[in-house]
Amino acid sequence: MAISFTNVLGNHEQALRIRSAKAALIAGNIANADTPHYKARDIDFKQALQQAQSNTATLKSTNLNHFGGQADNAASLNAKYRVPTQGSFDDNTVDMDMEKAAFGENSMHYLATLRFLTGRFQTMSRALRGE
């Protein structure tokens, strides 16, 4: 009997990829906090997950440049510009307090998903050993 990881793990693999891309985007915002005219961007997690679930293809690719390959970058996840809470003289929209809070929240969700997956793999391992 074959084990289908998609059935066992659900959409958590996609969630980890989106959370990882979101962390990279927030880190980019923080890195460019002093760059004039830089516009902070963010990913709407729910929308990106729905998009990833609807784009699930039956074809598998070994390279992102192959037909049907999916990239995990901000462009493929429809990153949107953040609405600034305060104006700035250099037209930079990065708010460090918001970015730090968003990074912490995203990290917490990422770790929660990892812990859930760890539990699933431990359960599968116990079942395979007959425990």
In tens, the pLDDT along 9-32 reads 778 888 999 999 999 999 999 999
- What are the φ/ψ torsions at residue 59 (nearest 5 degrees)? -80, 145
pTM for this predicted structure: 0.76
Longest dimension (CA), the chain: 65
Please name which of 99, 119, 95 lies closest in space to residue 107, comparing C-alpha atoms: 99
Enumerate the domain spans of the chain.
11-54+70-129
Q: What are 102's two structure tokens? A: 């968003």
Please name which of 118, 110, 123 lies closest in space to residue 131, comparing C-alpha atoms: 123
Instruction: Say how far apart CA 38 and CA 9 lie, in whole Å.
Output: 38
- The pLDDT, as a whole number, for residue 131 is 82
Q: Return the higher-pLDDT residue of 84 and 99.
A: 99
- The pLDDT, as a whole number, for residue 121 is 87
- The pLDDT, as a whole number, for residue 114 is 93
In tens, the pLDDT along 60-92 reads 556 666 555 445 555 567 889 988 888 788 999
